[in-house]
Chains A and B, each alone.
Chain A
Amino acid sequence: MSLEVKNLVKTFDDKKILNNISFKIENGQTLGVIGFSGSGKSTLLKIISGILSLDSGEIIYPKDSEVAMAFQYSALFDFLNVYENIAFPLLERREFRGKYSKEEIDKIVAQKLKMVGLEGIEEKFPSELSGGMQKRVGFARAIVTNPNIILYDEPTAGLDPVTSTMIEDYIVQLKKDLNASCVVVTHQLSTIKRAVDYVIMLYQGDIVFKGSVYELLEGKNDYARQFVSASINGPMNIATK
């Protein structure tokens, strides 16, 4: 499903976090969002997913789309085990209640777990998992309803390089399978290179770069160059405000 964000503005306590953000993602495309810590990337995803309200602007996607989000800090239900976490929407969402048999849910959960490289941990509770494992369970839970708009908040942060590659490949694979539009917030260039079609970069509430991954790495844009080369010198100053 396509996703369009139009002139989005968001302020927190008089501080403009997002200032007139616009972009459009077509079916089967993945947008990468980069930017300094605190530049409003998570806020952007939370607004698209409807958790936060927006001050002005529009989020446009077809009515029948299914939006999913993998949270930056997993946000697993700590009172449920891994199985129940992943099965949660299938068991508890009104429209799905009673639609799936126990066997079907078992199968779906096992399949999603296998997909993120975690098998046989159904009975464990989130507190018994490592951060990276929690992240992957969160990923599995997000995709259990076969969404077609998927928002990933730093899906590979804190994962080892091999697992990261695996997750990146799944982001690509899923996008194809579900014909989904995806937004991937990430700090990792490897993720951008493998999983992303084009990129926007946020700085002080504005989009300061918008272009393909090639253009990002090419270094013609000053902001992009500073970010990619991890340089302290450039148009952006970390110590703002």
Chain B
Amino acid sequence: MFELNKTLTYRGFLLLREQMAEFLITLGNIGCDFYNTVKYILKLRINIKETIEQSKRFAFDSLPISLAIVGMTSIIIAMQLAPELAKQGGADYTGMLSALVMVRELAVVMSGFAIISMVGSSFASEIASMSVTEQISAMKVLKVDPIEYLIVPRFTAGVLFMPVIFIISATFGLICAGIVSNKCADLSLLNYITSMWHGLYVRDIFIAIFKSSVFGGTIALVSSSCGYATRGGAKEVGLATTKAVVWSFLAIAMWDFVFASVFYL
């Protein structure tokens, strides 16, 4: 006999509806936490000690992996680019192209990925486990505002320190690319550096710094927010971490698109 609630389509529909609801709730939570965070910052309700603590963590935890990823990416790009350009007689453009690609896109995005995996995931899992073990409830009863104590410092750390990581990583990446061009395509370092300046625009650099700041704030906020909304137990802590990573990736891709459309179209 035909039963509607047993058909695959119907169950698929239910699943879809559930996921849509989940998506909207997460979006709502992030929006709400963002609103509160900004409100607190404007009121200067910032816990300086925690902000310093989280900034240290943000910068030190993610710098090595960020350097590794950005360094590797630029080495690979230079490896592919330099010999090819040399063959076509455009070796002089290696530095310029590397600088353009690194500063405008790769260094920011790649260090964003590094930060999501190192810092974002740990923000989410630690806040989620605090939530499921009633530590956040305890904080509320002790009249310490968890938004002020947990989310605002992480957000501030992200906004302030992602640019620092970006600048260091990008510089490191360009140095790596120079060395590789020198080795793979016999391009002189001086030549590389001269050409590099042609690809570096002050405007690009400022946009990239601004973009990295937005990325840092987004990663910190999305991760903290996914953790903060967690209820349940160990399984939910795991799910919250996954969610934080996925949402941060998506958010960064989206921001990157927005930045490219606004500044480079």
Contacts and interface: CB of A to CB of B under 8 A. Distances in A.
B194 interface: no
A150 to B, nearest CB: 11
Given A92-B47, A92-B149, A77 B135 contact: yes
Contacts, number: 54
Interface of B: 45, 47, 126, 129-130, 133-135, 137-145, 148-149
A69 B47 contact: no
5 contacts: A50-B140, A71-B134, A71-B137, A76-B138, A141-B138
From B139, B142, B144, name the one whose CB has the most chain A CB atoms within 10 angstroms.
B142
A75 B126 contact: no
Residues of B contacting A: mostly? helix
Contacts of A77: 130, 135, 138-139
A137 B46 CA distance: 28
Contacts of B47: 92
A73 B134 contact: yes
Given A92-B47, A92-B149, A75 B137 contact: yes
A214 interface: no
Contacts of B143: 89, 93-95
Interface residues of A, number: 22
Contact of A93 (B129, B133, B135, B142): B142
Interface of A: 46, 49-51, 67-69, 71, 73, 75-79, 88-89, 92-95, 141, 145
B144 A92 contact: yes
A69 B135 contact: no
A75 B138 contact: yes
Given A78-B133, A92-B149, A71 B142 contact: no
Nearest to A66: B143
B179 to A, nearest CB: 41
A75 B134 contact: yes
A44 to B, nearest CB: 14
A67 B144 CA distance: 13
